[in-house]
Structure 1
Amino acid sequence: MNILQYESKIWATADLLRGSGIKESEWPSYMMPFFALTMIESRLVRMFDDLKAEIGEEAFANIHKDDLYDLIKDKGQGYNIYIFEKNQTLTDICKNDKSFEIDFDAYLHGFDGETKDLLGVDATEGEKFLDIKGVISKLKAKKVLLGYTKLWSEIDLKPFNNSEITTLEEHIKRKWADISAETAGEQYTPDDVIALIAEIIASKIEESDKLLKIYDCTCGGGNLLFGVEDRINAKSKRLTQTYGQDWNDALYALAKIESRFRPDSKIEHGNTLVEDKFYNEEFDVVIANPPYGVSWKGYQKDIENDKTDRFKFLPSISDGQLLFMQHLVSKLDSFGMGVVVHNGSTLFSGDAGSAESNIRKWMLDSDIVEAVIQLPTDEFFNTGIYTYLWVLNKNKKPLHKDKVMLINASDKFKPLKKSKGSKRKEVDEASRIEIIYTLTQYQDTDYAKVFDKEFFYFNKQAIILTNVDEYGNGFEKKLKEGKKSEKLIPTKINYGERELTEFVITTFDDKQFTSLADAFEQDIKPFITSIDYKEQPLVISTTSAKYWFDSERETLVKEVNDKQEILGRGKIIVKSAYKNANKTQSERIEISVELTPDYQKDYEIIPFHRDEITNNKAIAAFMSQYITKPFTYLENVIGVELNFNKIFYKPEKLREVGDILAEIDAIENELKALESGLVL
C-alpha cells in the first residue's frame, strides 16, 4: 500500500468545512489537530499490537492494569485509556451518535497529560498548541462535529511505519503552508530539497558506532528534520538522534508528537534566538530553513543582551537569517557539518564593515564554509526566488582548506507536470546525483568553481580627495601651516542680483516673533544661509579685498585694488549664529564666512590579497592607475560578499548585424505590399 493514497482522502475532509462556510485559509487550523489525533492513535494501536506479539496473547491477557501502564509508559509514546484498557478507537466511538459527544470527550481526556497538552484538550487562554478544544467548539456550533470526526476515523494509518507516516505528514503540511502562509518569510522545505540536503550530509559523514546527532533550530512541524533523518538512515548504518526547536505552537506540537515515535528524539518549544533549549549541547549535523526577511525587533533587547557569545555581530533588524546562521555555527561540534537554506540576501547584503559582511568574513576566516549551492527558481511553494544551500564543514579535507566552492545548480531541475503553488520545478534524482558528484570532486566545471576564500574579500579603501582647479591647484596651498580654513569678516555680501547689507531675519507666513532667539530656535534663519556659491555669483567683501568662486576655472579668486589672485579650488562656507545682547551690541544674528579647501570623501573597491604587504601594494597600484587628484588615505575596511551573478554571468549573445538588416528589409517589403493593397 502507498500511504500517499490517504493524501486526497485527508483533504476530502475539507469539503465538509467548505460546506459549513469555513474559509479556506482557516482549514489548516481545523485539520491539524485531527490529523495529529489520527497519527497518535494509529501509532499507539500499532505499538499495542507489537507489545501483544512480543509478550504473547496468553501472557498479555493476564497482565495487571498497573503493570500494563508501566510497560507502555516506559516506551514514552503516550497512553490512552480507551485504546489500551477498553480496546476502543475513534472508529468505535463514532458508531454511537447518541453518546458520541460524551464518549469523544472522555476519549480525549483518556490520553496522558503531555498528549492532552499538545492536542490542546484542556486549552485555556495560554498556549493552545493544536487547540482541539477550540476546534471542537466551532464544529459543534456548525453541527458537524460527528460527521467531521467520522471522516478522520476512516483514515487508517496503522499499517505504515514512522518514515511512511512522516512522508504523508510532509505532503499535508506543505498544503497547509501553501494555504495559510501566515508568517512572512517562512518557507516549507519541499521533498526534493530535503533529499538533496540529506544526500549532501550522507556524502560527508563516515560510518562509525558514534551516535549521529542532528539538530534543526527552526524545525517547524519537523518535515526537514525527520525527512533528513529517514533518508540518512536509509543510506547509512549510523544510529541517529534528532533535536529540534520551534516557537509556532501548532507546528511544535506536530513535531513533538512525531518525535515520541522516534528513538530518543527531543523537540522543544520556544524562540531559539532568545532561549536556546539545547544550550549545553553540540551536534554532528545542523540543518535549518529559517524564515527569510523577518524582523527580530520584537525581541531586540534579548538579542542585544545575549550572554552566550554565539552572536558575533548583529545584522539588520529587518532580517534575522544571519542570527540563525551564527547560532547554528555555535552548535557544531569540533568535526560537525551542516546545510542551511537561505535566500540571496545573506550572500551580499550589507556593505564592507556592516554586520552582514562581518558575519560572512567571520565564517570564512573560521574556514567553516565549504560550498554554497544556488538552487533553481520556483523551487518553493510560495516564492519564486533563488534560494541557496550553505554547506558548512568543520572537518574539511586537506585540499578543501581555505577554499569555497560555488555551484550554480539553477539549471539542474526537472519541470513539474503540474505546478504546486509557486513550485514549478524540482531537483530530480539525476540532478541531485550530479550535484553531489560535483561537490565531492571539488573541481571546476562549467557550472561550479572552487576559489581561495580570499577571492570573496575586498578592500573598501576610504580616501580624502582634494579637488583642484584647472591649473591643478587647491586652496590648502594658500593656508598657513596648521590652519584648516581662512576666516573672513564680511562687510557686504552680494548674491546674484541681491545685495545684503543688514543681516535680518526673513520671516515666513507673516509670523511674528518676540525675539531673534525665538525665531532662530524655530529654524527661521537669514536667507544667506541657503546661499550656494556655484548656483549664483557670490561675492564676499571685506575691508581689504573681495572674494568669489570662478565657476569656469573652478577656483577661488581674491581681488585687491583691481588685481586678481588665483587661490586654487576651494569652498565658500557661510554660517549664521544667534548672539545675545551685550553692553555694546543688541541681540543679533551674526554671519561668518570661511574659505576652506574643497575636500571630498570617496571610497574605492579594490581586490583583496591575503598577504598584507601584497595587499598594500595592490591598493597603491590601483590608486596610481585610477586616481588622478591629490588624495589622503583614510581607513581601509575588509568586506566579504559571494555574488553568483558576477561569477556565473553569461552575456546574452548579440545578433549579427546582417541578420537584423535582413529582418528590417523584410518588414519594409511587407509594409510596401500592404500599402499597395490599400484602396483610397
Structure 2
Amino acid sequence: MSEFNEISNFVYGTADLIRDKFKRGDYEEVILPFLVLRRLDCVLEPTNDEVRETYEQYSDELNDQALQEVLKEAADAPFYNYSEYTLETLLDEPSDIERNFKEYMRSFSPEMQDVLDNFGFESTIEELSKHDLLYQVVKRFTQPTVDLHPDRIDNGTMGDIFEELIRRFNESLDENPGEHFTPREVVDLMAELAIEPDRDDFEENEILQIYDPCCGTGGMLTETEERIKDINEDVETWLFGQEVNPQTHAIAKSDMFIKGEDASAANNIEDGSTLADDAFPDKQFDYMLANPPYGKDWKSDKEEVEKEAEQGFGGRFGAGLPSKTDGQLLFLQTMLSKIQEPEDGGSRIAYITNASPLFTADPNVSDSKNECSIRRWILENDWLEALIRLPDELFYNTKITTYVWVLSNDKPEEREETVQLIDASGEEFWTLMDDNKGDKRKELTEDQIQDIIELYRENEDTENSQIHPVTEFGYRKVRIERPLRKNFKATEDRIEQIKEERAFGNLSGSEEGEEKQEAILDMLHGMDDKLYKDKKEFEEKLDEAIEETGLNLKKSVRGNIFNALGEKDPDAEIVRDSKGRPERDTNLTDYEYVPLDKDVRDYFEEEVQPYVPHAWINEDMTDPQDGGLGKIGYEINFNRYFYEYESPRPLGEIEEDIEEVEQQVVDMIQEVTK
C-alpha cells in the first residue's frame, strides 16, 4: 500500500509541472497516457536489446505479419517496441526529444499503437513540446519512484493506481468517478459470488468466457480471471468487455497486453456505448459482472435503445425501458440477453446497483413497460439468486448504500423459486479506513468478504440472511373506485360557470347557436335556487324547465349543465348514470397493493370495504399477461425485511434535555446583556 500511495501521489504531482499551460480538465490527457507508456517501457525493458537486434536482422526479409510474430517472440510479450530509444534514453537528446519521442511511439506493435492513439497522445506530445514541458514530464516519469516493472508493481496494484488517479481527476472537476471503476474489495466480492457454486467443477482445458458491458479499466474481468486461475490454473479464460470512455478503454486494453494476454484477448475489449451499439450481439458468456453508472441518463443512446426496444424480446430490451435518467437496468438486460442455456452450463451474473432498481416505478396503468416490468421479468424467470446490501460510504464518489445482485439461469435445486436477502451493511462487515478517499470511509477486509460469501453459501435464515419465495415480492396493483357525490343548485355563480364548458361554448359558432346559449342561460336563471342533494331530483326539475322552454339539447350540453351547477358534497347522494350505476369520483380513485398469495376480492372485502362501504374494484384494470384483476408488479424493499424497531426515549429524559437547552439559552442571553 505504501508503494501505491507513493506512486499515485508522485504521478499526480505532474499536474504541478503543467498547470500553467494546461487546463485542469486536461491533466489526465497528459498523465494517464504517460503512466501507460511508462508501464509498457518497464515491461519491455529486459528484452529491449534482443527486440532491436531481431528487427534489424529481419525487417527487410519478412512480411509485416511474420515480422510482428518474431518481434513478439523476442519481446516475450504480446507487444513490442523496436525503437532505439526508451523513455529514459530520450532524455539524452533534449533538443530532439519531440522527434525522437514520436519515432519511439511509432515503433510499438500495431495493436499497442491503436491503444495509444485512443489517448490522442501525439497532439499531447506536440503541446508539451510547444511549452518546453516534454523533457520535464519524461524526466519525471523515469524517476525511480515510477519504476512500474511487474516484479515491483503487480497488475492489481497497477489497476488501483490508475483508478486512484481517475478518482482524483474527476473529484477535482466535481465529476463522477463511479462511472469508471469499483473499489477493489467490492470487485473481489463480486468475483467470488460469481464463481462460488462452480469452484469445485472447473476442469483442465475448460474454456470460460467472462464479460463486462461497462468494463472501465477491466478490473472485474481480470479479478474474476485471477480467482478462477487460483482454483484451477489449467482453465482457459477469455475476457470480453466494452467501455464508452476512450481513455479508460485504452487503459483496459493496455492492461490486457501487459498481463501477457494475446492480441485477440486485448481486441475483445471494445470501445463505444454498449447501450447504443452492443459490440457482442451474438455472444453468450459463462460469467458476467458489471458496475454500471448510477443515476446516469441514457438520453444520448435514446434513439438506438428505443428502436431496439420495439423488437420486443427479439432485442435486448423487451422487458421494458427504465426512466431516461437512469440506465442501470438497461445494462442488466443486456447481460441477461447473453446467458447461455442451462444444458450448456448456464450463466452467472454479479451486478451492483444503487437502491432505485429494487423498487422504482409501479406497474403502469397503460401497457407500457418500466422498471417494475423488468423486475417482474427477472423474478418470474427465477433468475435472481441473492441480493446483498453492502455498507454505505464504500464507494469513492457517493455515500449511498449499494446492492449486489447475484443472478443465474441454472439455480441449484435448493434455491429454486426463492431469493436470498443478505444484509451486509452492519459494522461487523466493514472496517474504517485509515485515510478517506473522497466519500469512501469504509472498506471490506478479505475476512469480511469471506463472511459474506459464507452467508451466501449457507443459504439459511439467520440474523443477516433471509430466504423468501419469489412470489413474496410480487403484488397486484388494484384500482379502487369511490362514488361521486354532488349537490346541485341554480345559483348565479354556478350558472356563470357553464360558459367555460366545451359543448356549450361550441354553440357560439352560429347565430342560431348563440341564440340557443342565451335561451339556456335564461332557462337556468328562471329555475329556483333550492339546493338539491340528489341528482335525480334536480334532473327532474331541469327536465321540467327544458320542456317548458321547448329547448332541444344534446346530451353533451345537458352534461355541461350538470357539471356547472353541481359541486362535490360528501353528504350528498351518490350520482348515478342512466342505468343506475354509480359514477366514480376521479379524485377519490385509489390503489391497493394486494399480495400475490391473496385473492383480490377476498382482500377487498376484508381490508377495504369495511372502511369505505360504497367503494368497488375497477375491473377494467387487468393484467395483460394473466388477465387477472389489477396489474402485477414486483419490488424488493430491504428495510421491510431487516427493519429493527427502536423504542422512543423516555419522556422524562427528553424533558431533562429540553430544560438543559433552555438554561443554556438563558445563560447565553445573560452573558450578552451584561
Normalising by the smaller structure, the TM-score range is 0.7 to 0.9
Root mean square deviation of aligned Cα: 4.2
User: SS of 2:347's equivalent?
Assistant: strand
User: SS of 2:95's equivalent?
Assistant: coil
Give % identity.
26
Matches within 5 A, 1:35-184: 35-46=35-46, 64-65=58-59, 66=62, 69-73=68-72, 77-82=78-83, 86=84, 88-120=85-117, 129-154=118-143, 157=147, 159-160=149-150, 164-180=154-170
1:337 maps to which residue?
Answer: 348
1:350 counterpart = 2:361: yes
1:14 maps to which residue?
Answer: 15
Task: Report the alpha carbon displacement of residue 99 of structure 1 after superposing the two structures with TM.
Answer: 2.5
2:216–2:243 CA contact under 8 A, matched in 1 = yes
1:446 counterpart = 2:452: no
The verdict on how the C-alpha distance between 1:661 and 1:300 changes in structure 2, with shifts beyond 3 A counting, is: closer
1:286–1:339 CA contact under 8 A, matched in 2 = yes
Looking at structure 2, the residues matched to 351 and 671 of structure 1 have their Cα atoms a distance apart, in angstroms, of 49
How many residues in Structure 1 have an aligned counterpart in Structure 2?
590
Matches within 5 A, 1:631-670: 631-634=616-619, 635=621, 636-661=630-655
1:315–1:322 CA contact under 8 A, matched in 2 = yes
Task: Give the partner amino acid of 1:208.
Answer: E
Q: Given the alignment, which residue of 195, 198, 202 partners 2:191?
A: 198
User: SS of 2:287's equivalent?
Assistant: strand
1:540–1:548 CA contact under 8 A, matched in 2 = no
Looking at structure 1, the residues matched to 388 and 186 of structure 2 have their Cα atoms a distance apart, in angstroms, of 11
2:210 maps to which residue?
Answer: 214
With the length of structure 2 as denominator, give the TM-score of the two structures: 0.77
2:317 maps to which residue?
Answer: 311
1:44–1:77 CA contact under 8 A, matched in 2 = no
1:390 maps to which residue?
Answer: 405
Looking at structure 2, the residues matched to 677 and 142 of structure 1 have their Cα atoms a distance apart, in angstroms, of 62
1:28–1:180 CA contact under 8 A, matched in 2 = no
Looking at structure 2, the residues matched to 561 and 516 of structure 1 have their Cα atoms a distance apart, in angstroms, of 27
Higher mean alpha-carbon deviation, 365-374 vs 130-139, is at 130-139
2:483–2:615 CA contact under 8 A, matched in 1 = yes
Task: Give the partner amino acid of 2:221.
Answer: L
Task: Report the alpha carbon displacement of residue 661 of structure 1 after superposing the two structures with TM.
Answer: 4.8
The verdict on how the C-alpha distance between 1:159 and 1:591 changes in structure 2, with shifts beyond 3 A counting, is: closer
The verdict on how the C-alpha distance between 1:24 and 1:591 changes in structure 2, with shifts beyond 3 A counting, is: closer
Looking at structure 1, the residues matched to 522 and 445 of structure 2 have their Cα atoms a distance apart, in angstroms, of 74
Task: Report the alpha carbon displacement of residue 78 of structure 1 after superposing the two structures with TM.
Answer: 2.5
Matches within 5 A, 1:275-294: 275-294=277-296
1:30 counterpart = 2:30: yes
1:245–1:268 CA contact under 8 A, matched in 2 = yes
2:387–2:405 CA contact under 8 A, matched in 1 = yes
The verdict on how the C-alpha distance between 1:619 and 1:438 changes in structure 2, with shifts beyond 3 A counting, is: farther
Looking at structure 1, the residues matched to 290 and 362 of structure 2 have their Cα atoms a distance apart, in angstroms, of 26
2:225 maps to which residue?
Answer: 229
Task: Give the partner amino acid of 1:337.
Answer: R
1:254 maps to which residue?
Answer: 251
Higher mean alpha-carbon deviation, 374-383 vs 646-655, is at 646-655
2:491–2:529 CA contact under 8 A, matched in 1 = no
The verdict on how the C-alpha distance between 1:7 and 1:297 changes in structure 2, with shifts beyond 3 A counting, is: closer
Looking at structure 2, the residues matched to 164 and 539 of structure 1 have their Cα atoms a distance apart, in angstroms, of 93
Looking at structure 2, the residues matched to 316 and 679 of structure 1 have their Cα atoms a distance apart, in angstroms, of 58
The verdict on how the C-alpha distance between 1:544 and 1:3 changes in structure 2, with shifts beyond 3 A counting, is: closer
Task: Report the alpha carbon displacement of residue 468 of structure 1 after superposing the two structures with TM.
Answer: 5.6
With the length of structure 1 as denominator, give the TM-score of the two structures: 0.76
Task: Give the partner amino acid of 1:190.
Answer: P
Looking at structure 1, the residues matched to 424 and 539 of structure 2 have their Cα atoms a distance apart, in angstroms, of 72
1:435 maps to which residue?
Answer: 452
Task: Give the partner amino acid of 1:558.
Answer: E
Higher mean alpha-carbon deviation, 430-439 vs 620-629, is at 620-629
2:284–2:339 CA contact under 8 A, matched in 1 = yes
Structure number having the greater helix percentage: 2
Looking at structure 2, the residues matched to 6 and 240 of structure 1 have their Cα atoms a distance apart, in angstroms, of 31
Task: Give the partner amino acid of 2:69.
Answer: D
Task: Report the alpha carbon displacement of residue 235 of structure 1 after superposing the two structures with TM.
Answer: 4.2
List per-residue Cα deviations over 1:255-311 (Å, max 9, x = no partner): 112223325522111211222211221111001111122222222221122255221
Task: Give the partner amino acid of 1:216.
Answer: D
Looking at structure 1, the residues matched to 397 and 594 of structure 2 have their Cα atoms a distance apart, in angstroms, of 38
The verdict on how the C-alpha distance between 1:17 and 1:657 changes in structure 2, with shifts beyond 3 A counting, is: same
Matches within 5 A, 1:534-549: 541=524, 548-549=531-532
1:422 counterpart = 2:436: no
Unaligned runs of 5+ in 2: 502-506, 511-516, 542-552, 567-574, 577-582, 622-629
Matches within 5 A, 1:475-624: 493-496=490-493, 541=524, 548-550=531-533, 555-556=534-535, 558=537, 592-593=561-562, 597=576, 598-601=583-586, 602-610=589-597, 614=599, 617-624=602-609
Unaligned runs of 5+ in 1: 121-128, 470-474, 476-487, 507-514, 519-525, 530-537, 563-573, 579-588
Looking at structure 1, the residues matched to 151 and 616 of structure 2 have their Cα atoms a distance apart, in angstroms, of 72
Higher mean alpha-carbon deviation, 252-261 vs 398-407, is at 252-261
Q: Given the alignment, which residue of 354, 371, 382 partners 1:367?
A: 382
User: SS of 1:31's equivalent?
Assistant: helix
2:8–2:164 CA contact under 8 A, matched in 1 = no
Looking at structure 2, the residues matched to 413 and 429 of structure 1 have their Cα atoms a distance apart, in angstroms, of 10
2:208–2:238 CA contact under 8 A, matched in 1 = yes
Task: Give the partner amino acid of 1:270.
Answer: G
Higher mean alpha-carbon deviation, 444-453 vs 258-267, is at 258-267
